Structure 1
Amino acid sequence: MRILIADDHPLTLMGTKVFVESLGYKIEDVCSNGITAFNLILARQPKIAILDINMPGMDGLEVLEKVHRQKLPTKVILLTMHKEMTIFKKANQWGVSGYILKENAYDELQKCLETVKKGEQYISKNLENDLVIDNHSAGQNYAIDKLTFTEKKILELIAQQKTSKQIADMLFISEKTVEGHRTNIIQKLELPKEKNILLIWATKHFK
């Protein structure tokens, strides 16, 4: 069974590769960003793709969505540090086959691979207690749900008073791309076009 692994942290990437190989699986490709991961899935169609959610280029959720929309046969397992209910729901919506918190990865990855191999879904056993509901009202939740994972991440960084250049450097994207995301976020949240409106909104909702 051919497997692809994508993670932007070299130590995590190689650690996962060695661990999965020790279970007797063949790792076909490893990569460190979402765009490469999706292109490899498209070209080689591995049986399973183990993806970190937070990656440059294209995050794991966006790769999962593309795999789902294009009806590719590759099963996607997401490894994540995120415990937010909205992220989990989005992954579920796009047909995720496995969802594991990184802190429990080595305890659960073997069981997850066995489950996914049988065509069943595996959700981390620790996830049910760990999932937290975002601290927003229902209306705010609806607004934030319209944003992509990357847009949410940019909002969090804006709340930390990071500049567009700092955000670009942190997410390995161009400053122009960050500005484009800012414009999209303002439109999706239906915010007035006022100076520093995103900083004001983000500071209020991402405490």
Structure 2
Amino acid sequence: MTSVVLVDDQEMIRMGLRVMLESRGVEVLGEAPDGQAGVDLVRRVRPDVCLMDIRMPIMDGIEATRRIVEEEIPTRVLVLTTYDLDDLVHAALRHGAAGFLLKSTPLDRIVEGIEVVAQGEALLSPSLVRRLIEHHLAGPSPGRADDLVAGLTEREREVLVLVGRGRSNDEVAAELFVSRATVKSHVNHVFAKLGITSRVQAVVLCYEHGLVVPGRA
């Protein structure tokens, strides 16, 4: 059973999510009304996924996400937001959030998104992240792509670009004619070399450094 904690300053949203998620077999380990309380709760109960609001008192969801990721707590943060093209969502992704969902998303897709994130994948909807990135990011600076991939092997660079295009491990394996285990190993090495922890961060880096061009597959 996948476990979650709910971090949102609106009690009615937390209550509604708890009832709906528990009815679908998701274990809710606790709730928090702000980012600081959320970080403390995640440290204590270590759920699979933290559903994190962005705008909250005391500590916002961006800072809370940063702390969870930097402390290497094995909980993946899934951001809940009202708007899918919000600068704050982009900031949360840059700080290591595993993905984001709109609060208006149907319950079945929220549950699916929780499971996807818990399994280590990036986002429920890669098309949404592409739109977010294309909307916010300017073109790459000259030479930045070379700086980013300087420490990667040619194969690792290929894997990074495919991950940046939103490909799953299975899709990368099929495209490069290698096993899924080999792809997973390459992804882990790339993440370690680049100092990132999620596929979403890899997507953002690829767009920022011009390895993936907005609007192209």
Match of 2:51?
50
Q: Deviations over 1:47-73 (max 9, x none)?
A: 211111111111111111111111111
* Residues 102 and 126 of structure 1: CA distance in aligned 2, closer, same or farther (over 3 Å): farther
* Residues 126 and 20 of structure 1: CA distance in aligned 2, closer, same or farther (over 3 Å): farther
Shift of 1:115: 0.6
Match of 1:61?
62
Q: Deviations over 1:2-53 (max 9, x none)?
A: 3111111111111111111111011110121111111111222222111111
Where in structure 1 are there 5+ consecutive unaligned residues? 139-207
Q: Whole-Å Cα distance in 2 between the matches of residues 69 and 83 of structure 1?
A: 25
Where in structure 2 are there 5+ consecutive unaligned residues? 140-217
Q: Whole-Å Cα distance in 1 between the matches of residues 114 and 86 of structure 2?
A: 23
Is 2:25 the partner of 1:24? Answer: yes
Q: Whole-Å Cα distance in 1 between the matches of residues 99 and 21 of structure 2?
A: 15
Match of 2:94?
93
CA contact (8 A) 2:81 2:89 kept: no
Q: Whole-Å Cα distance in 2 between the matches of residues 51 and 88 of structure 1?
A: 11
1:103 alignment partner, SS class? coil
TM-score by length of 2: 0.55
CA contact (8 A) 2:54 2:88 kept: no
Q: Percent identity?
A: 27
> Could you say what the CA RMSD is over the residues aligned between the two structures, in angstroms?
2.6
Shift of 1:120: 0.8
2:104 alignment partner, SS class? helix
Match of 2:78?
77
Q: Whole-Å Cα distance in 1 between the matches of residues 102 and 127 of structure 2?
A: 8
Q: Whole-Å Cα distance in 1 between the matches of residues 106 and 88 of structure 2?
A: 18
CA contact (8 A) 2:5 2:47 kept: yes
Amino acid at match of 2:102: L
* Corresponding pairs, count: 137
Match of 2:110?
109
Amino acid at match of 1:10: E
